[in-house]
A and B are shown apart, each in its own frame.
Chain A
């Protein structure tokens, strides 16, 4: 087992006092970044990049530098869940799906359980992904090469079909909001022809509607407005505040082993492809809802509904480092900045990195194990602290949340126009929720809309308009087939039931 030996060397490199201190620093910074929607993971890493520049020039310094930066990344992955669960405000895009069950759990007074479940499953997801990276990287690395435009489109279609399909809301309302999401996603520069769409000459609309602004408005502000109707208080203030809640949650978690495995697989797959952590979390939530025996109760505050997206998001976020290191393709904006960092330090991501920079690579992989353990310890011990935020009186915390939301919306494009858009989305979210227009399909459409469209049109360019390209080889064929199967599954199930009933 060469890998084990290399890994042990990696641990020897990563386990210096300085590096462990850097891990703690990175994780804590990352959690702060993940909590505040204005400080995206990409932003946070980018800002610290110059700092690491001089660090990287001392011997072995590149490993220390990447440990610091990657720990910020893990911290942000952990931290994104906190505000999602407490206030329905996703700190990071990949924690949107966590709000679906995490926030209802908090409202029921189980914020501690939701947080503990989120953190623990994040850790499990990451661990699975690191193990995959450790032992299967040579095999898996080249898998991403199989993915051309048709394959990417099939992956997005699969995400979509896994998530949509059965919805409790009226079908035409679901359709309307979903299409609204696609329409918003298409505002801005058309990815294929470069022309401006739906901007009507406005310079504000050049940048399109950012997913984060829509989500902060629809979920965060919309939720505060809804809460207000019930009076000036957040529900769930009676949340337990001691560490016992963590142990209690751990007792419950093994029940969801199947969901964990499924979500880890989804996450690793989406990370390696690379499809991204956000689609991974949606896909995993959709799949879990469909195949869990409690699927009907999803959305009302199920621990399983927190486990699924968090496991997948963290697995995908971790696995995304593999194509970054071996192929130089970043799986997320944060990975893109890390990649830039490697280049600035003088490392060359690519097939030879594992050969030429053995110490660096294995040091990094070892730090993935250690960083996530450190991260888990840090965030779990803070669970009571986070849950206690809910006890802060509404008239203090509500304006602070509004300020955080405003900063978050502003920093996306440094424009006050976006803060207005956030408020508009807030009112829209409030009205939609009361009229049973579902918000999740809207958000998913904003996330996937332009990516799905550009990969579809790239495929059409490649195939010169031939639709059979989506069934042209085994890989894309099975992805498309699986997507269609999931889409029509409710219908098929109905037909089968009828047939049996006869």
Chain B
């Protein structure tokens, strides 16, 4: 009996602990706006809408959540909107790499420090793809061929001075090869340009190119992650995501992962941040979310709090140095 009551007491204290830490718990009192600093149909858009759908399906929030696309000026529209909503706890934003690249490349005045980091949801992978008709079997062979072509190889990518072009620039810096970078509007277009042989390679996200890989039109050469992807289920007859070598293994020492994370406006209270941290934890625990992660072969690293802020700061510094070297910074 005694032991039981002590256990009970302990359990009660432990259950009470979170509410002691966040003495003033908070909940949204009106509709929450979920901003996407990118167009409809892209990777960030899909992830945000999936999250919204999961929230609605499992009733994770009492208030409703609306998704708003603010893609103007390479996402600057969305970031400026959130920056301007200082102290508004009913606004969250999902980011992609344009959190760093847009202010650097365009000089539009905002920085991630204007926002409050909430939670990293996942990291998006980049894979080096070529047309399957091409003879190169590995990243090494491909780079050698690009070198031999004397800077005539075309790399198709999404947007200008954003992640795809930064990776291209990093490959150039690493290997001394030159590429012609051709910017397109969306990842789907980029993949089709490669299938149609209008480009020599791309660094598409897995989800953008997987259909053509399975259709036998494209082949992956390497993934820009220090570790191989963990997904072992066969995607094609012979290969799984885990079978794709890392670029480092292939002698191309470049790694790049794109942040899919949640931010809030500046000046919000810890209780408000905590609410969204909890909300996204619940979202991540659903089978639907796990499904999405596997389909897009995401890197499921997920940080919160200080760890997350530190990660963002490191990543920002890396983008500054990468973009400086590539001369992508406005007014440089």
> Do A and B come into direct contact in the complex, CB within 8 Å?
yes
Known contacts: A145-B192, A190-B160, A340-B46. The answer to whether A53 contacts B106 by CB under 8 A is no
Known contacts: A146-B196, A148-B196, A330-B41. The answer to whether A191 contacts B106 by CB under 8 A is no
Known contacts: A328-B191, A413-B77, A462-B180. The answer to whether A350 contacts B72 by CB under 8 A is no
What's the A-B contact tally at a CB cutoff of 8 Å?
162
Contacts of A429 in B (CB 8 A): none
Q: Are B52 and A50 in contact (CB under 8 A)?
A: yes
Q: Are B41 and A349 in contact (CB under 8 A)?
A: no
Docked CA distance A444–B166 (Å): 34
Q: Look across to chain A and name the residue whose beta carbon is closest to the beta carbon of B65.
A: A50
Q: Are A413 and B159 in contact (CB under 8 A)?
A: no
Docked CA distance A189–B159 (Å): 10
Within 8 Å of chain B (Cβ to Cβ): is A225? no
Q: Look across to chain A and name the residue whose beta carbon is closest to the beta carbon of B330.
A: A195
User: What per-residue 1/0 map shows which CB atoms of A327-351 lie under 8 Å from chain B?
Assistant: 1111001001101100110101111
Q: Are A144 and B192 in contact (CB under 8 A)?
A: yes
Q: Are A327 and B185 in contact (CB under 8 A)?
A: no
Q: Are A336 and B39 in contact (CB under 8 A)?
A: yes
Q: Are B53 and A49 in contact (CB under 8 A)?
A: yes
Within 8 Å of chain A (Cβ to Cβ): is B193? yes
Partner of B40, one of A147, A327, A336: A336
Q: Are A328 and B188 in contact (CB under 8 A)?
A: yes
Partner of B57, one of A54, A327, A413: A54
Docked CA distance A340–B53 (Å): 12
Q: Are B49 and A50 in contact (CB under 8 A)?
A: yes
8 A Cβ contacts from A343-399 to B: 343-344, 346, 348-353
User: What per-residue 1/0 map shows which CB atoms of B100-140 lie under 8 Å from chain A?
Assistant: 00000111100000000000000000000000000000000
User: Looking at B56, B80, B106, B328, which has the most chain A CB atoms within 10 Å of its CB?
Assistant: B106
Q: Are A189 and B73 in contact (CB under 8 A)?
A: yes
Q: Are A350 and B211 in contact (CB under 8 A)?
A: yes
Docked CA distance A83–B231 (Å): 51
Q: Look across to chain B and name the residue whose beta carbon is closest to the beta carbon of A206.
A: B73
Within 8 Å of chain B (Cβ to Cβ): is A203? yes
Docked CA distance A350–B159 (Å): 22
Interface 9-mer from B17-25, B212-220, B264-272, B305-313:
B212-220
Partner of B195, one of A145, A349, A353: A145
Q: Are A191 and B185 in contact (CB under 8 A)?
A: yes
Within 8 Å of chain A (Cβ to Cβ): is B8? no
Task: Determine how close the nearest CB of chain B comes to the CB of A459; give it in whole angstroms.
Answer: 9
Q: Are A53 and B288 in contact (CB under 8 A)?
A: yes
User: Looking at A189, A192, A346, A462, which has the most chain B CB atoms within 10 Å of its CB?
Assistant: A189
Task: Determine how close the nearest CB of chain A comes to the CB of B218; give it in whole angstroms.
Answer: 10
Contacts of A220 in B (CB 8 A): none
User: Looking at B40, B189, B191, which has the most chain A CB atoms within 10 Å of its CB?
Assistant: B40
Within 8 Å of chain A (Cβ to Cβ): is B171? no
Q: Which residues of A contact B (CB under 8 A)?
A: 42, 46, 49-51, 53-54, 144-149, 188-196, 199, 203, 206-208, 323, 327-330, 333, 336-337, 339-340, 343-344, 346, 348-353, 413-414, 454, 458, 461-462, 464
What are the 7 tightest A-B residue pairs by CB atom distance, in nearest-first order?
A350-B211, A207-B72, A336-B41, A148-B198, A206-B73, A351-B215, A194-B160
Q: What are 17 contact pairs spanning A and B, CB under 8 A?
A: A46-B49, A49-B53, A53-B53, A53-B288, A148-B196, A149-B198, A193-B160, A194-B159, A203-B77, A207-B72, A323-B192, A329-B192, A343-B207, A352-B215, A458-B183, A461-B154, A461-B182
